[in-house]
Each structure stands twice: as structure tokens, then as C-alpha cells.
Amino acid sequence: MTATLPDDVLTALRRADTITVLTGAGMSAQSGIPTFRDAQTGLWSRFDPADLASHAAFVRDPDLVWGWYRRRAALAARAEPNSGHVALARWQQHAADRGGRLTIATQNVDDLHERAGAVVAAHVHGSLTAVRCSICDTPYHGPLDVTGDLDGTGDDTEDEIRMPPPPCADCGSPVRPDIVWFGEALPEDAWRAAETAAEEADVVLVIGTSGVVYPFAGLPALARSAGALVIEIDPAETAVSDMAHHHLRAGAADALPALLDSVLDHGEVR
């Protein structure tokens, strides 16, 4: 795939002092991590995330919710950053080397950006790699186990998925994944960082987000109203496509290396 943005847009990307990248589940889809709302196979076909991603579900069946998230965390840990993650990490370093800034804010709860070498300013929906107490919010740093196999076939029963969450070292209450569940507020620091990055950017790249989960879905409009050039990278039209000035209809792993190659005048990315 070759970048198909107009020359003046590529020039704007080259000259931008501040670039903000907003990523969603599509960013990691080509690494084999399922998107939240698509029809799924394996683990996701047997357990509906919409039924498990809530405080009420955790109170009702903590062993099932905890075990399901531990399985997700283990599967995500086996995934590898794709070429899109790597391109963003290299782009971030290139921006820093020339005195600029590329800021990443993501809805994703995996750590593939970081494992590709990037710094993420905001995980607005939390992280699978973080655990905290369900009552006192104290971070948990003890051992974390996974039950069953990780072949992804989806043959596991609820009993095979279930595992009791460890107790908090401070108050003894069960710990939980540090994920934003349905009905919960976003972490203030992460949201403030994402909002500021959108407001201050010269260019905003919106990559692999469906644009239906607010308030994150409002960031492209916020950036555009603040004067940013907004570029969407996604194989299909989304709910935020009308907020973008330009579109690249391709997956992140295909579009980003080619786009970075074009921005860097070819030859710096392999």
C-alpha cells in the first residue's frame, strides 16, 4: 500500500510540531486481538464482554469476571505489535529528535504500543496489565495466574475460566482489572491528557476507532474545532469519518508504515 494523501497534507505532516494519534481496537486487530463489538471466535464467542464488563457482573460472579479478564490479559501478552505499532513508535522518536511531539492516546487496554517502543500518554479505558483493589483502589503488585490452556479455540467452560481474584494486601477485598467498565468514569488524568493532546495538536490521526464510544469519540471534533488537520485511518467508514479532512481506507499495519515512509521522504522506514 502506498500513502494516497495529497502532497499538501504530507507537507503538513512533515512540518507539524505536534501530532496527536488517537487509536482504537482496529489498531491492534492485525495483531490478532479481537475488536470489542465484532462477531468473535474462540474465547469471545462463548462469553459476551457486554455481560462481563461491569461492576454488577463482578459483584455477581467475581471468579468468572476475574478469570475472563486474566485469560484476555494472557492472550494479549502473546500477541505481537504489528507494523503499525512499530511505525508509530519510530514516528514518535523522529518527532522528538526534531524537537516536536507525537502524543498517543488510546482506547485500547493492551500494551502493544509500549512493547513496540512508544510512550502512551493516555490509556483512557484502563489497561489489562494493571490491577487494583475493587474497594480501596490500592494497586496490586502480587502474583497473577491464568487457568486452562491458551489455544484460543473457545472450548473452555465457565468452570475452566473461573478463578478467584487475589485479595488486596491492604484491606483484603478482591482485586479487579484496572479497566473502565460500563457505567464507570474515565480516569481523570488519562482523560485530561487525551483532551489536551487533541486541543493542542497541529495534526490528529484517528486510527481504528469505531467512533461510537464517548467521550473519546468526541476528540476528533474537538481537535478539528481547535484548528487541527484530522486524518482518519480505517478500512471502513466510521461514526467519526465526517470529522476528518482526509481518509486512508486501510488497516493500521498497512497504512502507517507507508504513510511514515512518505512523510520521511522515503527510505527511513524499513
Q: pTM value?
A: 0.91
Return the CATH fold of 7-263.
Rossmann fold (3.40.50)
Confidence class of residue 33 from pLDDT cuts 50, 70 and 90?
A: confident
Cα 228 from Cα 205, distance rounded (Å): 10
Q: Domains of the chain: which residue ranges?
A: 7-263
> What's the angle, vertex CA 189, arms to CA 183 and CA 191, rounded to 5?
55
Kindly give the residue spans of alpha helices, DSSP state H, lying in 98-218: 112-115, 158-161, 188-200
pLDDT, residue 1, reads: 45
Residues forming the active site: 125
pLDDT, tens digit (0-9, with 9 covering 90-100), for 80-137: 999 999 999 999 999 999 999 999 999 999 999 999 999 999 999 999 999 999 999 9
Q: Which residues pair with 22 in a beta bridge?
A: 105, 206
pLDDT, residue 233, reads: 97
| Average pLDDT score over the chain | 89
Cell triple for residue 211?
467512533
Confidence class of residue 150 from pLDDT cuts 50, 70 and 90?
A: low
Q: Would you say 74 and 156 are in contact if contact means Cβ atoms under 8 Å apart?
A: no
Above 60 in pLDDT, residue 32? yes
Q: Where is 176: in which H helix or E strand?
A: strand 175-179
Cα 192 from Cα 190, distance rounded (Å): 5
Above 80 in pLDDT, residue 36? no
Cα 216 from Cα 23, distance rounded (Å): 10
Q: Would you say 11 and 202 are in contact if contact means Cβ atoms under 8 Å apart?
A: no
Q: Would you say 218 and 28 are in contact if contact means Cβ atoms under 8 Å apart?
A: no
pLDDT, residue 269, reads: 40
Confidence class of residue 230 from pLDDT cuts 50, 70 and 90?
A: very high
Pick from 39-43, 127-131, 157-161, 222-226: least confident: 39-43
